[in-house]
Amino acid sequence: MTAHVALQTDPSLLMWATLLLVVGAIFFYAMERVALEITSLGVIAICLLLFHFFPVLSAEGHNLLDAKTLLSGFADPALISILALLVIGQGMVQTGALETPARWLVKTGVSYPKRTILLCMITVMVISAFLNNTPVVVIFIPIISTLADKLGTSAARLLMPLSFVAILGGMTTLIGSSTNLLVSGSLQGLTGESIGFFDFSFPGLVLATLGFFYVAFIAPRLLPEQAKSTETQAGASGKQFIFQMDILPGNSLYGKKSVAGMFPNLTGVTVRMIQRGQETFLPPFDDLTLTTGDAVLLATTRRALNEILVKDPHFLSGIINEETINQDGEPVQNEPEHKALLAEVVVAPASRLDGRTLDQVGYHLQGGCKILGVQRRSRMFRTAMSDIRLEAGDVLLVVGNKYQIRTLRTNRDVLLMEWSTTIVPSPGKTRTALATFLGVVGLAATGIVPIPIAALAGAAIMVMTDCLNIRQASRAVDRRVFLLVGAALAMGTSLQATGGAAFLAHAMVEALSAAPIPLILSGFFLLIAVLTNVLSNNATAVLFTPIALNLAAELGVDPLIFVYAVIFAANCSFATPMGYQTNLLVMGPGNYKFKDFLKVGGPLIILIWLAYSIFAPWYYGLW
């Protein structure tokens, strides 16, 4: 056994030290002069040291805040659920499984983009009233992100509102949130009285509707335009590349016929020329059927190319082959680490490629990468790819495995743009990813399997079925979320064990003991709304339900008035990312900072508090 010295101290000092730690943590999180991860690690380290040397002892003499307890947040089922769901979401993005529904939404709402997004938000709020809102948000994160991208709107301005409308919808019925069920269970355990399904729906709808207007029309204006991730940048480039397809029997364009001068299945692609032997066809193409030997000159962006590859795995058949070459020069098939990668390179000044045609360089760069397309800023080409003479500054779209792409870093003829490297979408994996996703959501929503189990199993299936590889899965796990949740749960546990949370509650009750009942109700609501963003909303609900009953008994009013206040206030988890699971889910995809939640969620809490302070006394006849 390892001996250690435990110092005894006044419990109240530990309580004040914990309160000071919480205030300090929120300050550093909000200021962001120190990285969020470092602040989280510092909080955890302080908690471990403080309660190691100054333990909080139970009646049996056990330390209530030992290392196992304080670090248990890293194994919290809610945290595991969030990280696994992030992996599943990345699998959906990687396989393009939601491109079709997003495209349908864009097509149907292209004339009214704001109405389309607004309809999505309303749908989320309504569904969240009857289903666990975590899987609901999981469904809509990739849809909203794709929709926003296609409509030219920053996803960062929509994902936080998405989380907030889900929380607002959850406060309108008994099963809308786990917080509501916990309050109901606590009430039944203390009094034997239960809460009906729609007992608090009317005041909940009033608050949710008011909050929805703020979230839909004001919150997006308060959120900054976030810089897109490098992967998104690579896929979102609006530059058009010229590349040539030689039609083969296995290619999906083989046998396709032009209609009204165009090829209908080539969405987002411009056919600039078709070469058939010595004969050249220029648009519009009248009654032309593509056949073996045709050389089709196409102009398209990388985004459009990715979307086509998701829908049509054989679009580049014969150009991107299943077989790749490993670092030893040996052919390898269908191994995740040897998947095809797309990248962009710039022809360097004094390059050996300068002045040479693609035919002369054999469509390959030194190291094995194949040249797919060429982009020149000054003009577009309308000549066969084989005749294009490369110039310094030309951007080449190349394909190769990771070993071949890596050799480009030492290639003096080209300059690799590192941010541009992306994996070619996994053809044939769309249905697998979608089935896995729907299975996880269905199991979690119906309660057949708990969310942590369903989410973890779904993440495992995504990796095992090659919808995404281990590297992509690990990148989907946001370390900020991981450390933030661990630190938040450590602080929340410390506040409860040292009596800090109970102290704040009783201090508020005593301070307002002589005030009118509406003012006491308003102060009670505000205290819970603030603490639910520091403690977990479930812990806040359990802590304040008995206090609500005692307070109502002292004031001689219906106890349900104060119990409902606990439900509504404990759901006001808008001001911090750790306030609610859905906030953590959107934090990574939205690239939000801690202060973004304070800036947008803080006013929403004040708005709901003021609305409740005015509406509740009138509704319950307390004036």
Per the CB < 8 A criterion, the answer to whether 14 and 498 are in contact is yes
Same domain, 172 and 222: yes
The helix-helix angle for 451-464 and 430-446 (nearest 10°) equals 170
Closest C-alpha among 597, 619, 601 to residue 30: 597
Q: What are phi and psi of 208, to 5 degrees?
A: -65, -40
CA distance 157 to 48: 38
Torsion-angle region of residue 374: left (phi > 0), alpha (psi -120 to 50) or beta?
beta
Torsion-angle region of residue 570: left (phi > 0), alpha (psi -120 to 50) or beta?
alpha
The helix-helix angle for 594-619 and 517-531 (nearest 10°) equals 160
Same domain, 86 and 167: yes
Tell me which amino acid residue 79 is.
Answer: L
CA distance 149 to 145: 6
Same domain, 130 and 201: yes
CA distance 32 to 25: 11
Per the CB < 8 A criterion, the answer to whether 435 and 468 are in contact is no
pLDDT at 329: 47
Q: Which structure tokens are listed for 279?
A: 């004969």
Same domain, 272 and 405: no
Does 276 fall in a domain?
A: yes
User: Strand 279-281 vs strand 269-276: parallel, antiparallel, or unpaired?
Assistant: antiparallel
pLDDT at 323: 45
Domain coverage including residue 262: 240-300
Same domain, 217 and 108: yes
CA distance 607 to 536: 21
Same domain, 136 and 223: yes
Q: Is the peptide bond before 331 cis (omega within 30 degrees of 0)?
A: no
Per the CB < 8 A criterion, the answer to whether 190 and 184 are in contact is no
What is the block-wise mean pLDDT of the chain (623 residues), using blocks of 10 residues? Answer: 52 85 82 80 91 84 86 80 79 70 63 78 88 76 77 84 94 83 81 85 95 94 66 52 77 78 74 82 81 82 74 64 47 50 84 85 80 74 74 85 81 78 67 84 76 87 85 78 79 81 75 84 91 78 79 85 94 89 85 90 96 94 81
Same domain, 406 and 264: no
CA distance 284 to 297: 14
Q: Is 134 exposed, middle or buried (0-12, 13-18, 19+ CB in 10 A)?
A: buried
Q: Is 259 exposed, middle or buried (0-12, 13-18, 19+ CB in 10 A)?
A: exposed
Does 263 fall in a domain?
A: yes
Upper half-sphere CA count for residue 500 (Cβ side, 13 Å): 23
CA distance 170 to 177: 5
Same domain, 81 and 228: yes
Same domain, 271 and 364: no
Does 547 fall in a domain?
A: no
DSSP H helical ranges for 275-424 = 302-311, 358-361, 402-407
pLDDT at 426: 59
Counting every residue written for the chain, the total comes to 623
Does 185 fall in a domain?
A: yes
Same domain, 435 and 419: no
Upper half-sphere CA count for residue 530 (Cβ side, 13 Å): 13
CA distance 163 to 583: 6
Does 522 fall in a domain?
A: no
CA distance 43 to 21: 7
Longest dimension (CA), the chain: 97
CA distance 196 to 20: 40
Does 32 fall in a domain?
A: no
Per the CB < 8 A criterion, the answer to whether 357 and 428 are in contact is no
Which secondary-structure segment (H or E) carries 407?
Answer: helix 402-407
pLDDT at 435: 87
Torsion-angle region of residue 428: left (phi > 0), alpha (psi -120 to 50) or beta?
left
The helix-helix angle for 113-128 and 156-170 (nearest 10°) equals 30
Per the CB < 8 A criterion, the answer to whether 374 and 385 are in contact is yes
Q: With DSSP H G I counted as helix, E B as strand and the rest as coil, what are the percentages for the chain, rounded to 5?
A: 55, 10, 35
Does 490 fall in a domain?
A: no
pLDDT at 236: 45
CA distance 320 to 436: 27
Q: Is 71 exposed, middle or buried (0-12, 13-18, 19+ CB in 10 A)?
A: middle
CA distance 266 to 301: 12
CA distance 119 to 121: 5
Q: Report the predicted TM-score, pTM, of the whole model to 2 decimal places.
A: 0.65
What letters, b where the CB count within 10 A reaches 16 and e where it falls short, cover 501-518? beebbeebbeebeeeebb
Same domain, 110 and 224: yes
Closest C-alpha among 323, 385, 373 to residue 345: 373
Tell me how many domains the chain contains: 3
CATH of residue 355's domain is 3.30.70.1450
Tell me which of 285, 300, 315 is where a domain ends. 300
CA distance 145 to 102: 9
The dihedral built from the CA positions of residue 594, 598, 600 and 601, taken in this order, carries a sign that is positive
Q: Is 361 exposed, middle or buried (0-12, 13-18, 19+ CB in 10 A)?
A: middle
Same domain, 84 and 223: yes
Per the CB < 8 A criterion, the answer to whether 88 and 437 are in contact is yes
CA distance 262 to 282: 11
Does 312 fall in a domain?
A: no
